[in-house]
Structure 1
Amino acid sequence: MAKELPKVKSFEDWCNERNSLPPETRKTVNYLLDAASTQDCRLADIALNQRTEFLTSSPTLSDISDLRPFSSLTNLRKLSFMSHKITDLTPLVKLKNLEAFVILSDGLTDVSPLASLSNLTDLGLMGKNITDIRSLSSLTKLKKFTLWFSSIQNIEVLKNLTQLTEVSFIGGQIADISSLANLKPLTILELTHNKVANIQSLSGLTNLKRLNLDSNKITDIKPISRLTNLVYLDLRANLISNLSSLPGLKSLTRLNLSRNQIANIEPLSGLANLDSLNLKYNRISNLSSLSSLQKLTSISLGHNQIVDIKPLESMTKLATIGLQNNRITDIQALANLKNLVVLVISQNPIKSQVCPVNPQSNCIFKISPSYDWSY
C-alpha cells in the first residue's frame, strides 16, 4: 500500500515536505515558490497568504495537475487555471473566500467540489469532458457564468441561479434553453455555436442589453420583439428569413444578421440608432430601406444580389462599406461619402475601377475569393 501523504495545513508545511512529495505535487509547490519570489518556505507562506489573486495562464502553470498546495491559501478571492492536466478540484473546497474562479481543462470531468464555494459570483469552465453541472445549483450568489466548449446539454441548474446577470455558453451541445426564463436580471446572454432552435423562453428577459445567438438553428425570432433594451444583437449563421419582429428594438446600435436567408430588409428601416450593420451572405437585392439609417458608420453587404447602391449615397457617416461579391457595375453614387475610408468592392462587374472617394487606396477592387473580408 502506498504511503499516505502527511496532512499538511499550511504552505510552509507543503514546502518543507517537498522533497518527499510526488513529482506532480512538488511541481505545484515550486510554482508557488516562484510566485512568492523566494525559496524560503516561511517567507513564501507569508507572501502567498497576502495574495488575493492568482490569475495566470503562464506555461509553468499549464503543467500543474495537483492543486493541493493551493488549499492553504484561504485568502484567495480570484483564481484561474489553464492546465489540461487538472482532474481534481477537491483541494479548492477550503477556499471559502473565492469570488471568481476560471478553469480551462479537458482533463476535468467532475465540477461538484465547486458547490461548496458559496461566495462565488463569477465562474468560468472550459472542458470538453464536463457533462454535468447540476451540482452547482447551490451557488446562488453567481452573477456571471461562462461555459466554453463543453458537452453539457442540460442547463436546468440555471433555474436556481436567479442572481445571474451574465451567461455565456459558447461552443456546446445546448438545445433546450427553457431554464433561462427565470433569469430576469440577465443583461448579457451569449449562446453561440450551440443547437438552439426555440428561443421562446427569452421573451421575458427584458433587461437584456447584449444578446448573441450566433451559429444556432433559429428560424423564428418573434420572442426577441419585446427585448427593447437591447443595444447589441448577433443572429448570424442561423436560418432566419423574416425580420418583422425587429422594428421595436429602437435601442440597437450593433446588429449582425449575416449568413441567414434574408431577402426583405424593410423592417430594419426604423432602427435609427444603428451604428454597425452586418448583412453579409444573404439574398438581398433592394437597399432602399437603409437610407433612413443615418447613424450607420459601418455596413457589410457582401455576398448578396445587389445591383443598385444609390440608397447609400445619403448615408454620410459611413466609414466602412463591404459590397464584395454582388452584381454592382457602378459605384459613383458613393462619391459624396466624405467619411468613407474603406470600400470593399471586389468580385463585382465594375465597369470603371475608379474609387469615388479619395485617396484611391480607400477602395479595394481585388482580393482573394477565398478571403472572408471582415467588412
Structure 2
Amino acid sequence: MSPDPDAGARLKARGLRIALAVTAALAIEALRGADLPILAPMIALQILAMAPRAPGLKLLGMLFGAAAVSSLVAWTIAAFTVSIPGAYPLGMGVLYLWCFALAMHPRTRPLGAMALTMTIVVGALSAASTEAAAGLALSLAMSILAGGAVVYLAFAVLPGPPAPPAAAAGPEAADDLAEPRGPAPVPVAFRAALATMAMLPLHLWLTADGGVAAMPVLFTCSAMLRQPGVAASLRDSLARLAGTAAGGAAAAGVHAVTLMQDEATLALAMVAAASLAFAWRMSASPLHAQVWLPGFVTFLALYGMTLSPTLGGDEVAASERLGQVFAGAVYTVAAVSVLAPVARRLTTRRAARPA
C-alpha cells in the first residue's frame, strides 16, 4: 500500500482542532461560571483525540446516551447502596468494568471515554453529596452540550484534508492515530477487568472523605489505563509518568502566572499555548498519543479545577493537587505492573492453544 501523502496534514489539522476546541471550551466554561469547568474541554479533548471526522448524528446521540446512562447509574449507586455493606464497591466495580470495556474496544472508544468521564464526575460528586450532585445536573448537562458544540466548531474552522477512500471500510480506517491493526494479545474483557482492578481501590480510597479532590487523580489514571500497552515496559511506564508530570507542571505554571498577573487575556493565551503544545505532541504518532494524552488530561483537570467556583477554586492550588495526581499515576503504573504478569500468562496460553 502506497503511503498516504495527506496523513501528516491530517495529523496537523487534528492537533490544531484539539487545541482550538480545548481552549474555546475552557474559556466558555470560565466565562459562564460553570460549576465544573473541566468537563466541557475534557469531553472535547477525548472526542477529538479519537474521531478522524466530525461525529454524525447517530454517534452524537450515542455519546449523550452513554453520558446519561453512566451518570444516572453512578448517582443511583451512591444514593441507594450506602446502607448495604459491600454494595457500593460492587456497583462501582461493575460500572467501571462496563466503561473500560467500551473504551478499549476499537468501535466504541468514544462511548467509553464519555462514559468514564461522567462516571468519574458524577461518582466523585455523589460520594461527597448525592443532593449536591443532583443539584448540579443542569450545569453538567450544559457543560456536555458545550463540549459537543466546540467539537463541531473545531471541525468547521479546521476541516483538514479529506479522509482517504479506505475510510469507507470502517470508522477507524481514516484514523491516523488508531492502534496498529492485528489480533489483540489480551481479550478486551480481560483488559477491562485489569483496569477496573487497578481503578476501583483508588476510587474508593479517594472518595472516602469526599470526592472533589478525587477528580484530577481519577481522570489521569483512567486516561493512563485506557492506553494500549500501559505496562509494556519500564521505559514506557516512565514515559507515561513523565507525560503526566509535564501536564501537572504546566497546570501549576499557568496557575501561578495567572495569580501574579490576574489578566484573563494572558491566562487564555497561556492555556492556548499549552494546549497547542500537548496537542502537537499527541498528534506526532500513536505512541506519542499514549504518553501525552494522559499529560493533557492532567493539565486540564488540574488547571480547570482552579477555575471552579463550586469545587474549591483557588483554595487548593494546582501545585498542591499535582502531588496527589503524580502519586496516583505512580500507583497506576505499579498496580498494572503487578497485574501484567497475569495478562502475559493468559496471552501465552491463548497463543499455545491449537487453532
**TM-score (normalizing by structure 1):** 0.15
More helix by share: 2
More strand by share: 1
Q: Which has the higher contact order (CA 8 A, sep 6+)?
A: 2
